[in-house]
Chain A
Amino acid sequence: MKSVAEILKEIRPEFDFTTSEDFITDGMLDSYDMVMLVATLDKTYGISIGGVEIVPENFMNLKAIETLLGKYGVRP
């Protein structure tokens, strides 16, 4: 199964997501990227991330995304 970093790389191949602590401030993810990321995470892990969880704080770095996935029982 793909890792979160691999999924991010598919969405924005031009960035290295393992080195940033704030994807949003660093201009690596915009709001539409977040939508695409959520759709991909839902499909990959068989979950449905709640709409109210789709806020920048939950997608600002790998740790935040993995914490969010943990709420849905996913340990990527």
Chain B
Amino acid sequence: MNFTFRRKRISGILAIVPANERTFIEEMKNFNFPESRSLKLKEVMGYDKHRVVEPGVCVSDLAVFGLEHLFKQGLLRPDEIDALILITQSPDYFMPPTSNVIQGRLNLKQDMLCLCINQGCAGFLIGLIQAFSLLEQESIRKVVVVNADVLSRKTSSKDRNSYPLIGDGASITVVESDPEDSVIHANLKMDGTRNDALIIPAGGFRLPSGPETAVLEDVGDNNLRAKDHLRMDGTAVFNFVQTEVPPLIESLLTFAGVSINAVDYFLCHQANRFMLQKLADKLKVPHAKMPSNIVEHFGNSSGATIPITIAFNLSTQLKNHDFQVCLSGYGVGLTWASMLMRLGRLTFCELVDYP
């Protein structure tokens, strides 16, 4: 499915990561796995450090912290926010919507739209597509897109397949109309038949959490996990990304009439370094054009990894210049999406620690 948006732009990006940093070396002892093999894995996958929230910290805490930071710095006014879109898979509650919780905690105006979207690694693009669509309304002039997840709280620390790469984090992206005649192209695909490739089996209404869903089970490769925990079929997800994402990006570039060499940066969801380097090789894109350093510094925080990639790698350049960028997110659902835009001359582009 293709999308075209005219006269829309990202005007600011703030990334928020927990100050609490853990290292793979410290955590290796939790895995029932020889140290020498863990060290090899660290090198190839880019496992090093990751940021995880302290117990009890929720998505709304990260979002409120970030928005208050912008208000205090004079980079955004509360009354400017006409819509707040939260994309998360780890809401504070099943009900009410966490977007409303954020609105309430910040005492934002009532004359606004709060919306929650249950999406993951493609969630930054899904949120942007929604925000650009809302900006067609005269009553909506500024949309705040919040991507936030605290999935470390739902990941087994004894699961070497998931825990070392998981990170918590959030981003706040301000989206508004562009006075210039800009065009943004996007495309996306979804395949719900593969919905169990990334899943938390228990805790919803299908399988409510209870004592039996909290029991750690040996799930192979010496990994221990409960049904309450995130389960990732790493091989299936890896093959999904390598098979589906390159043709999606190529199709987007054809749709937009832009050559691959004209793209300055490919800013992709940060699953792990190995996956991204294979993606770059498949697209014949230099590795320097596709940053892959987020898992090693912060971990994979789902939909927030693209804005974190931008804030961590390009914050200085994006304040005064703009670039042709191709964004791409892929994961839970399964969902895969890409977007081509000019990104730059941002009012703010910053990464801050929480708290």
Binding site for B on A (CB under 8 A): 11, 30-33, 35-36, 39, 48, 50-52, 54-56
- Residue B243 is within 8 A (CB to CB) of chain A in the complex: yes
Closest Cβ–Cβ distance, residue B152 to chain A (whole Å): 20
A52 proximity list for chain B (CB < 8 A): 239, 242-243, 282
Q: How many residues of B contact A (CB 8 A)?
A: 23
* Neighbouring B residues of A50 by C-beta, 8 Å: 242, 278, 281-282
Do the beta carbons of A35 and B281 come within 8 Å of each other? no
What's the dominant secondary structure at chain B's contact region?
helix
> Which residues does chain A contribute within 8 Å of B242, judged by CB atoms?
50-52, 54
As a 0/1 sequence over residues 34 to 60 of chain B, the CB contacts with chain A under 8 angstroms (1 = contact) are: 000100110111000000000000000
Contacts A31-B234, A31-B235, A32-B221 given: A51-B41 contact, CB under 8 Å?
A: no
The 4 closest A-B pairs by CB, nearest first: A51-B242, A51-B278, A48-B281, A39-B44
Closest to A14 in B: B34
Q: How far is the CA of A50 from the CA of B243 in the complex (A)?
A: 10
Chain B residues close to A by CB (< 8 Å): 37, 40-41, 43-45, 160-161, 220-221, 234-235, 238-239, 241-243, 274-275, 278-279, 281-282
A11 to B34, CA, bound (A): 11
A39 touching B235 by the CB < 8 A rule?
no
11 residue pairs from A and B, CB less than 8 Å apart: A30-B221, A31-B221, A31-B234, A32-B161, A35-B41, A36-B40, A50-B278, A51-B239, A51-B278, A52-B239, A52-B242
Given A31-B234, A31-B235, A35-B274, A51–B241 Cβ distance below 8 Å?
yes
* B220: nearest chain-A partner, CB-CB: A30
Checking B45, B221, B243 against A35 with a beta-carbon cut-off of 8 angstroms, the contacting residue is B45
Q: Within the assembled complex, what's the spacing in Å between the Cα atoms of A65 and B189?
A: 33
Q: Is the CB of B274 within 8 A of A39?
A: yes
